[in-house]
Amino acid sequence: MDSDIIIVGGGPAGLSTALHLVQKNPQWAERVLVLEKAVYPRPKLCGGGVTRPGLDILTGLGLSLTPPHVWVKDVFFRYRDLAYKLESNPAFAVVSRQIFDAWLADEARKRGIAIREGVEVIDVRADEAGVTVFTTGGRLRSRALVAADGSNSIVRRKLKWGAGRKALLLEVITPAGENEEYLIRGAATFDWSVLDDGVEGYYWDFPTPSENEAQQINRGVFHSRVYAHRPRPPLRQALAQMLAIRGLNLDDYPLKGHPIHWFSPGDALARPRVLLVGDAAGADPLLGEGISFALGYGQVAADALDAAFATGEFRFADYDQRVREHWLLKQLLARHLGAAIAFGSMRYDWVERGLWRIAPGLFRIMAQIRPDYFPLDNRQMTPVSDD
Protein backbone atom coordinates (compact mmCIF):
# COMPACT_ATOMS: atom_id res chain seq x y z
CA MET A 1 0.00 0.00 0.00
CA ASP A 2 1.26 3.45 -0.89
CA SER A 3 -1.31 5.05 1.40
CA ASP A 4 -4.28 3.96 3.50
CA ILE A 5 -6.54 6.50 1.79
CA ILE A 6 -6.14 8.15 -1.59
CA ILE A 7 -8.32 11.19 -2.24
CA VAL A 8 -8.71 12.03 -5.93
CA GLY A 9 -9.21 15.78 -6.26
CA GLY A 10 -8.08 18.66 -4.09
CA GLY A 11 -11.17 20.88 -4.22
CA PRO A 12 -13.34 21.67 -1.17
CA ALA A 13 -14.73 18.12 -0.94
CA GLY A 14 -11.39 16.31 -1.05
CA LEU A 15 -9.61 18.78 1.22
CA SER A 16 -12.50 18.80 3.70
CA THR A 17 -12.35 14.99 3.87
CA ALA A 18 -8.62 15.10 4.61
CA LEU A 19 -8.97 17.96 7.14
CA HIS A 20 -11.79 16.22 9.01
CA LEU A 21 -9.80 12.99 9.21
CA VAL A 22 -6.85 14.83 10.72
CA GLN A 23 -9.15 16.66 13.09
CA LYS A 24 -10.39 13.28 14.35
CA ASN A 25 -6.85 12.04 14.81
CA PRO A 26 -3.66 13.85 13.78
CA GLN A 27 -2.13 10.48 12.86
CA TRP A 28 -4.37 10.39 9.81
CA ALA A 29 -2.09 12.99 8.23
CA GLU A 30 0.49 10.32 7.40
CA ARG A 31 -2.11 7.92 6.09
CA VAL A 32 -3.86 10.15 3.53
CA LEU A 33 -2.67 11.20 0.09
CA VAL A 34 -4.47 13.82 -2.00
CA LEU A 35 -3.92 13.69 -5.76
CA GLU A 36 -4.70 16.90 -7.63
CA LYS A 37 -4.32 17.10 -11.39
CA ALA A 38 -3.85 20.87 -11.43
CA VAL A 39 -1.33 23.10 -9.66
CA TYR A 40 -2.62 25.65 -7.12
CA PRO A 41 -3.79 28.32 -7.55
CA ARG A 42 -5.83 26.61 -10.27
CA PRO A 43 -8.81 28.18 -12.04
CA LYS A 44 -12.27 26.89 -11.11
CA LEU A 45 -15.40 28.22 -12.74
CA CYS A 46 -17.67 29.11 -9.84
CA GLY A 47 -19.73 31.97 -8.42
CA GLY A 48 -17.80 31.49 -5.17
CA GLY A 49 -20.84 31.94 -2.88
CA VAL A 50 -20.17 30.17 0.42
CA THR A 51 -23.30 29.98 2.57
CA ARG A 52 -23.32 30.00 6.37
CA PRO A 53 -23.28 26.20 6.85
CA GLY A 54 -20.04 26.06 4.85
CA LEU A 55 -18.56 28.88 6.90
CA ASP A 56 -19.60 27.01 10.07
CA ILE A 57 -17.85 23.85 8.86
CA LEU A 58 -14.68 25.86 8.26
CA THR A 59 -14.98 27.35 11.76
CA GLY A 60 -15.41 23.84 13.14
CA LEU A 61 -12.10 22.96 11.50
CA GLY A 62 -10.48 25.92 13.23
CA LEU A 63 -10.32 27.93 10.00
CA SER A 64 -11.44 31.53 9.68
CA LEU A 65 -12.05 32.85 6.20
CA THR A 66 -8.76 34.67 5.58
CA PRO A 67 -8.72 34.64 1.74
CA PRO A 68 -10.22 37.79 0.17
CA HIS A 69 -14.01 37.69 0.27
CA VAL A 70 -17.07 39.91 -0.01
CA TRP A 71 -19.85 39.62 2.56
CA VAL A 72 -23.30 39.57 0.99
CA LYS A 73 -25.92 41.04 3.32
CA ASP A 74 -28.82 41.77 0.99
CA VAL A 75 -30.12 39.12 -1.37
CA PHE A 76 -32.67 40.16 -4.01
CA PHE A 77 -34.99 37.60 -5.52
CA ARG A 78 -36.74 38.70 -8.68
CA TYR A 79 -39.34 37.24 -10.95
CA ARG A 80 -40.70 39.49 -13.70
CA ASP A 81 -42.07 42.58 -11.88
CA LEU A 82 -41.93 40.95 -8.43
CA ALA A 83 -38.91 41.63 -6.23
CA TYR A 84 -38.12 40.58 -2.68
CA LYS A 85 -35.23 41.31 -0.39
CA LEU A 86 -33.72 39.02 2.21
CA GLU A 87 -31.49 40.79 4.71
CA SER A 88 -28.99 38.91 6.80
CA ASN A 89 -25.66 39.75 8.28
CA PRO A 90 -24.21 38.07 6.28
CA ALA A 91 -26.36 35.84 4.07
CA PHE A 92 -23.20 34.40 2.53
CA ALA A 93 -19.62 35.20 1.56
CA VAL A 94 -18.23 35.32 -1.95
CA VAL A 95 -14.69 34.09 -2.51
CA SER A 96 -12.46 33.68 -5.53
CA ARG A 97 -12.30 29.90 -5.92
CA GLN A 98 -8.78 30.04 -7.27
CA ILE A 99 -7.53 31.67 -4.07
CA PHE A 100 -9.93 29.90 -1.69
CA ASP A 101 -8.97 26.38 -2.84
CA ALA A 102 -5.24 27.19 -2.74
CA TRP A 103 -5.69 28.52 0.82
CA LEU A 104 -7.57 25.37 1.89
CA ALA A 105 -4.80 23.21 0.39
CA ASP A 106 -2.20 25.27 2.31
CA GLU A 107 -4.14 24.74 5.53
CA ALA A 108 -4.27 20.99 4.84
CA ARG A 109 -0.52 20.95 4.25
CA LYS A 110 0.07 22.83 7.51
CA ARG A 111 -1.69 19.94 9.24
CA GLY A 112 0.71 17.48 7.62
CA ILE A 113 -1.49 16.24 4.77
CA ALA A 114 0.42 15.23 1.62
CA ILE A 115 -0.96 16.74 -1.58
CA ARG A 116 0.59 15.77 -4.91
CA GLU A 117 -0.16 18.49 -7.44
CA GLY A 118 0.04 18.00 -11.18
CA VAL A 119 -0.81 14.31 -10.86
CA GLU A 120 -3.83 13.27 -12.89
CA VAL A 121 -5.72 10.08 -12.18
CA ILE A 122 -6.43 8.26 -15.43
CA ASP A 123 -7.83 4.94 -14.28
CA VAL A 124 -9.05 3.23 -11.12
CA ARG A 125 -9.67 -0.41 -10.23
CA ALA A 126 -11.17 -1.64 -7.00
CA ASP A 127 -10.78 -5.18 -5.67
CA GLU A 128 -11.39 -6.94 -2.37
CA ALA A 129 -8.18 -5.78 -0.71
CA GLY A 130 -7.99 -2.21 -1.98
CA VAL A 131 -7.88 0.14 -4.91
CA THR A 132 -5.32 0.59 -7.67
CA VAL A 133 -5.02 4.11 -8.97
CA PHE A 134 -3.31 4.74 -12.31
CA THR A 135 -1.94 8.26 -12.59
CA THR A 136 0.23 10.33 -14.89
CA GLY A 137 2.92 9.88 -12.21
CA GLY A 138 2.67 6.08 -11.97
CA ARG A 139 0.56 3.45 -10.24
CA LEU A 140 -0.52 3.72 -6.61
CA ARG A 141 -2.36 1.44 -4.26
CA SER A 142 -4.54 2.26 -1.23
CA ARG A 143 -6.98 0.53 1.09
CA ALA A 144 -9.75 3.03 0.38
CA LEU A 145 -10.40 5.68 -2.24
CA VAL A 146 -12.35 8.93 -2.06
CA ALA A 147 -13.61 10.32 -5.36
CA ALA A 148 -13.55 14.10 -4.91
CA ASP A 149 -12.86 14.83 -8.56
CA GLY A 150 -15.84 17.00 -9.34
CA SER A 151 -18.75 16.92 -11.74
CA ASN A 152 -16.88 15.17 -14.56
CA SER A 153 -15.47 12.56 -12.16
CA ILE A 154 -13.01 10.16 -13.77
CA VAL A 155 -13.53 7.74 -10.87
CA ARG A 156 -17.26 7.53 -11.61
CA ARG A 157 -16.49 6.97 -15.27
CA LYS A 158 -13.82 4.31 -14.78
CA LEU A 159 -15.87 2.41 -12.20
CA LYS A 160 -18.91 2.58 -14.50
CA TRP A 161 -20.99 4.44 -11.94
CA GLY A 162 -22.88 6.34 -14.65
CA ALA A 163 -22.48 10.02 -15.44
CA GLY A 164 -25.51 11.05 -13.33
CA ARG A 165 -27.70 14.10 -13.91
CA LYS A 166 -26.08 17.43 -14.66
CA ALA A 167 -27.04 21.09 -14.67
CA LEU A 168 -25.55 23.50 -17.20
CA LEU A 169 -24.07 26.84 -16.16
CA LEU A 170 -22.71 29.80 -18.06
CA GLU A 171 -20.62 32.41 -16.31
CA VAL A 172 -19.08 35.75 -17.15
CA ILE A 173 -17.11 38.29 -15.08
CA THR A 174 -17.76 41.94 -15.83
CA PRO A 175 -17.38 45.32 -14.17
CA ALA A 176 -20.42 46.68 -12.34
CA GLY A 177 -23.09 47.94 -14.73
CA GLU A 178 -25.36 50.96 -14.52
CA ASN A 179 -26.75 51.60 -11.01
CA GLU A 180 -25.04 48.53 -9.58
CA GLU A 181 -23.05 50.10 -6.74
CA TYR A 182 -25.40 48.32 -4.35
CA LEU A 183 -23.92 45.00 -5.51
CA ILE A 184 -20.40 46.16 -4.73
CA ARG A 185 -21.52 47.24 -1.25
CA GLY A 186 -22.59 43.64 -0.51
CA ALA A 187 -25.71 42.54 -2.34
CA ALA A 188 -26.55 39.73 -4.73
CA THR A 189 -29.37 39.03 -7.16
CA PHE A 190 -31.15 35.84 -8.11
CA ASP A 191 -33.43 36.68 -11.04
CA TRP A 192 -35.83 33.88 -11.90
CA SER A 193 -37.40 35.72 -14.87
CA VAL A 194 -35.33 33.44 -17.15
CA LEU A 195 -37.88 30.74 -16.29
CA ASP A 196 -39.95 32.39 -19.03
CA ASP A 197 -37.22 31.45 -21.55
CA GLY A 198 -37.47 27.80 -20.51
CA VAL A 199 -34.44 27.98 -18.18
CA GLU A 200 -34.94 25.67 -15.18
CA GLY A 201 -33.14 28.00 -12.85
CA TYR A 202 -32.11 31.60 -12.51
CA TYR A 203 -29.71 34.36 -13.47
CA TRP A 204 -27.30 35.62 -10.77
CA ASP A 205 -25.19 38.71 -9.95
CA PHE A 206 -22.55 38.21 -7.23
CA PRO A 207 -19.97 40.80 -6.18
CA THR A 208 -16.64 39.05 -6.32
CA PRO A 209 -13.26 39.88 -4.82
CA SER A 210 -10.71 40.81 -7.44
CA GLU A 211 -7.04 41.72 -7.45
CA ASN A 212 -7.42 45.27 -8.70
CA GLU A 213 -9.31 47.97 -6.88
CA ALA A 214 -12.61 47.81 -8.74
CA GLN A 215 -14.62 44.83 -7.66
CA GLN A 216 -15.96 42.65 -10.40
CA ILE A 217 -19.42 41.16 -10.75
CA ASN A 218 -19.77 37.46 -11.37
CA ARG A 219 -22.87 36.74 -13.43
CA GLY A 220 -24.34 33.68 -14.97
CA VAL A 221 -27.27 31.41 -15.62
CA PHE A 222 -28.02 28.12 -13.92
CA HIS A 223 -30.13 25.60 -15.83
CA SER A 224 -30.78 22.51 -13.75
CA ARG A 225 -32.14 20.22 -16.48
CA VAL A 226 -34.32 18.40 -13.98
CA TYR A 227 -36.75 17.82 -16.83
CA ALA A 228 -34.09 16.62 -19.25
CA HIS A 229 -36.57 15.66 -21.99
CA ARG A 230 -37.53 19.32 -22.51
CA PRO A 231 -35.83 21.20 -25.37
CA ARG A 232 -32.65 23.00 -24.33
CA PRO A 233 -33.39 26.71 -23.73
CA PRO A 234 -31.27 29.43 -25.37
CA LEU A 235 -29.00 29.92 -22.32
CA ARG A 236 -26.57 32.28 -24.00
CA GLN A 237 -29.40 34.46 -25.23
CA ALA A 238 -31.02 34.51 -21.77
CA LEU A 239 -27.70 35.64 -20.26
CA ALA A 240 -27.17 38.23 -23.00
CA GLN A 241 -30.61 39.71 -22.30
CA MET A 242 -29.90 40.01 -18.58
CA LEU A 243 -26.59 41.74 -19.31
CA ALA A 244 -28.23 44.07 -21.81
CA ILE A 245 -30.68 45.21 -19.08
CA ARG A 246 -27.56 46.18 -17.10
CA GLY A 247 -26.08 48.08 -20.04
CA LEU A 248 -23.51 45.36 -20.80
CA ASN A 249 -22.78 43.47 -24.01
CA LEU A 250 -22.07 39.76 -23.50
CA ASP A 251 -19.80 39.72 -26.57
CA ASP A 252 -17.35 42.00 -24.72
CA TYR A 253 -16.53 39.37 -22.07
CA PRO A 254 -15.15 35.83 -22.17
CA LEU A 255 -18.01 33.41 -21.61
CA LYS A 256 -17.36 30.09 -19.86
CA GLY A 257 -19.52 27.08 -19.11
CA HIS A 258 -19.35 24.05 -16.83
CA PRO A 259 -21.79 21.39 -15.63
CA ILE A 260 -22.74 20.59 -12.03
CA HIS A 261 -23.49 16.98 -11.29
CA TRP A 262 -26.43 17.04 -8.88
CA PHE A 263 -27.66 14.71 -6.19
CA SER A 264 -30.33 12.16 -7.17
CA PRO A 265 -31.94 10.33 -4.24
CA GLY A 266 -31.67 6.88 -5.89
CA ASP A 267 -27.91 7.08 -6.64
CA ALA A 268 -25.56 4.92 -4.57
CA LEU A 269 -22.74 7.06 -3.19
CA ALA A 270 -20.43 4.25 -2.08
CA ARG A 271 -19.15 0.87 -3.15
CA PRO A 272 -16.75 -1.46 -1.39
CA ARG A 273 -13.50 0.52 -0.86
CA VAL A 274 -14.80 3.65 -2.66
CA LEU A 275 -16.69 6.76 -1.49
CA LEU A 276 -18.03 9.65 -3.55
CA VAL A 277 -17.93 13.20 -2.12
CA GLY A 278 -18.76 16.70 -3.37
CA ASP A 279 -19.88 17.13 -6.96
CA ALA A 280 -18.80 13.56 -7.75
CA ALA A 281 -21.54 12.48 -5.32
CA GLY A 282 -23.95 15.28 -6.22
CA ALA A 283 -24.67 18.94 -5.46
CA ASP A 284 -27.94 20.84 -5.15
CA PRO A 285 -30.31 20.69 -8.18
CA LEU A 286 -32.43 23.66 -7.08
CA LEU A 287 -29.83 26.42 -6.78
CA GLY A 288 -26.64 24.73 -7.97
CA GLU A 289 -25.06 25.26 -4.57
CA GLY A 290 -22.10 22.97 -4.03
CA ILE A 291 -19.30 24.49 -1.90
CA SER A 292 -20.96 24.11 1.51
CA PHE A 293 -22.24 20.68 0.54
CA ALA A 294 -18.74 19.67 -0.62
CA LEU A 295 -17.38 20.71 2.78
CA GLY A 296 -20.22 18.76 4.44
CA TYR A 297 -19.53 15.62 2.43
CA GLY A 298 -15.99 15.79 3.82
CA GLN A 299 -17.37 15.51 7.36
CA VAL A 300 -19.46 12.45 6.53
CA ALA A 301 -16.72 10.73 4.53
CA ALA A 302 -14.19 11.24 7.33
CA ASP A 303 -16.59 9.61 9.82
CA ALA A 304 -17.25 6.69 7.46
CA LEU A 305 -13.55 6.18 6.71
CA ASP A 306 -12.57 6.38 10.37
CA ALA A 307 -15.22 3.77 11.22
CA ALA A 308 -14.11 1.50 8.35
CA PHE A 309 -10.49 1.50 9.45
CA ALA A 310 -11.52 0.91 13.07
CA THR A 311 -13.62 -2.15 12.17
CA GLY A 312 -11.79 -3.43 9.07
CA GLU A 313 -15.13 -3.37 7.21
CA PHE A 314 -14.77 -1.51 3.91
CA ARG A 315 -18.13 -2.05 2.25
CA PHE A 316 -19.34 1.40 3.35
CA ALA A 317 -22.87 -0.01 3.41
CA ASP A 318 -24.10 2.78 5.71
CA TYR A 319 -22.55 5.69 3.81
CA ASP A 320 -25.73 6.64 1.92
CA GLN A 321 -27.62 6.69 5.19
CA ARG A 322 -24.92 8.81 6.83
CA VAL A 323 -25.31 11.30 3.97
CA ARG A 324 -29.12 11.35 4.27
CA GLU A 325 -28.88 11.94 8.05
CA HIS A 326 -26.12 14.57 8.03
CA TRP A 327 -27.33 17.93 9.42
CA LEU A 328 -26.55 19.72 6.14
CA LEU A 329 -26.56 17.06 3.43
CA LYS A 330 -30.09 16.02 4.30
CA GLN A 331 -31.13 19.29 2.66
CA LEU A 332 -30.16 17.81 -0.70
CA LEU A 333 -33.26 15.66 -0.67
CA ALA A 334 -35.47 18.68 0.11
CA ARG A 335 -33.78 20.69 -2.64
CA HIS A 336 -34.35 17.83 -5.06
CA LEU A 337 -38.04 17.96 -4.27
CA GLY A 338 -38.01 21.77 -4.46
CA ALA A 339 -36.42 21.62 -7.92
CA ALA A 340 -39.01 19.12 -9.17
CA ILE A 341 -41.85 21.40 -7.96
CA ALA A 342 -40.33 24.73 -8.99
CA PHE A 343 -39.30 23.62 -12.47
CA GLY A 344 -42.36 21.43 -12.97
CA SER A 345 -44.74 24.30 -12.26
CA MET A 346 -43.02 26.67 -14.72
CA ARG A 347 -45.13 25.09 -17.47
CA TYR A 348 -48.21 26.73 -15.98
CA ASP A 349 -47.94 30.48 -15.95
CA TRP A 350 -50.65 31.07 -13.34
CA VAL A 351 -49.10 28.52 -10.95
CA GLU A 352 -45.63 30.02 -11.34
CA ARG A 353 -46.90 33.54 -10.82
CA GLY A 354 -49.06 32.42 -7.91
CA LEU A 355 -46.10 30.71 -6.26
CA TRP A 356 -44.01 33.86 -6.61
CA ARG A 357 -46.77 36.00 -5.13
CA ILE A 358 -46.93 33.85 -2.03
CA ALA A 359 -43.15 33.25 -1.89
CA PRO A 360 -42.50 35.44 1.20
CA GLY A 361 -45.27 33.64 3.12
CA LEU A 362 -44.04 30.21 2.02
CA PHE A 363 -40.51 31.14 2.98
CA ARG A 364 -41.61 32.33 6.44
CA ILE A 365 -43.58 29.12 7.09
CA MET A 366 -40.74 26.86 5.91
CA ALA A 367 -38.24 28.83 7.98
CA GLN A 368 -40.45 28.42 11.05
CA ILE A 369 -40.89 24.68 10.53
CA ARG A 370 -37.24 24.03 9.68
CA PRO A 371 -35.13 26.90 11.04
CA ASP A 372 -32.06 24.68 10.65
CA TYR A 373 -32.55 24.78 6.86
CA PHE A 374 -32.34 28.59 6.92
CA PRO A 375 -29.34 29.54 9.06
CA LEU A 376 -29.94 33.27 8.71
CA ASP A 377 -30.39 36.14 11.19
CA ASN A 378 -33.53 37.30 9.44
CA ARG A 379 -35.87 34.75 7.90
CA GLN A 380 -38.13 37.25 6.12
CA MET A 381 -38.38 38.14 2.46
CA THR A 382 -39.79 41.64 2.11
CA PRO A 383 -41.27 43.05 -1.11
CA VAL A 384 -39.20 45.87 -2.68
CA SER A 385 -39.96 48.31 -5.45
CA ASP A 386 -37.79 48.33 -8.56
CA ASP A 387 -35.77 51.42 -7.68
Per-position DSSP letters for 207-275, written without gaps between them: EE--SSSSPEEEEEEEE--SSTTSPPP-HHHHHHHHHHHTT--GGGS--EEEEEEE--TT---EETTEE
Of 226 and 352, CB closest to ligand FAD: 226
At its nearest, how many Å lie between ligand FAD and the CB of residue 125? Answer: 14
Do 144 and 5 form a contact (C-beta atoms < 8 A)?
yes
Could you give the string, one character per residue 149-178, with x where binding to ligand FAD holds by CB under 6 A and - elsewhere? xx---x--------------x-x-------
- Does residue number 38 form part of the binding site for ligand FAD (CB under 6 A)? yes
Of 4, 5, 9, 166, the one binding ligand FAD by CB under 6 A: 9
Q: Where are the alpha helices (DSSP H) in 82-204?
A: 97-110, 154-158, 181-184
Of 67, 201, 220, 285, the one binding ligand FAD by CB under 6 A: 220
SS3 of residue 370 by DSSP: coil
At its nearest, how many Å lie between ligand FAD and the CB of residue 345? Answer: 24
At its nearest, how many Å lie between ligand FAD and the CB of residue 358? Answer: 27
Of 290, 300, 309, 343, the one binding ligand FAD by CB under 6 A: 290
Of 4, 5, 21, 48, the one binding ligand FAD by CB under 6 A: 48
Using the rule CB under 6 A, give the single segment among 22-30, 139-147, 283-291, 339-347 that binds ligand FAD. Answer: 283-291
H or E element, residue 22: helix 12-24
Do 155 and 121 form a contact (C-beta atoms < 8 A)?
yes
- Does residue number 360 form part of the binding site for ligand FAD (CB under 6 A)? no
Residue nearest to ligand FAD (CB): 290
Task: Estimate to the nearest angstrom the gap between the alpha carbon of 214 and the chain centroid.
Answer: 26
Closest alpha carbon to 27 in 357, 294, 306: 306
328 vs 278: CA distance, rounded Å: 13
Using the rule CB under 6 A, give the single segment among 12-20, 55-63, 246-254, 309-317 that binds ligand FAD. Answer: 12-20
Of 42 and 379, CB closest to ligand FAD: 42
Sort 366 into a burial class: Cβ within 10 Å, 0-12 / 13-18 / 19+. middle
Of 80 and 256, CB closest to ligand FAD: 256
Of 42 and 364, CB closest to ligand FAD: 42
User: Cα–Cα distances in Å, from 131 out to 118, 143, 190, 337?
Assistant: 21, 6, 43, 35
Do 208 and 218 form a contact (C-beta atoms < 8 A)?
yes
Could you give the string, one character per residue 108-137, with x where binding to ligand FAD holds by CB under 6 A and - elsewhere? ------------xx----------------
- Does residue number 90 form part of the binding site for ligand FAD (CB under 6 A)? no
Give residues in contact with ligand FAD (CB under 6 A).
8-14, 35-38, 42, 44-49, 120-121, 148-150, 154, 169, 171, 220, 258, 260, 278-279, 283, 288-292, 294
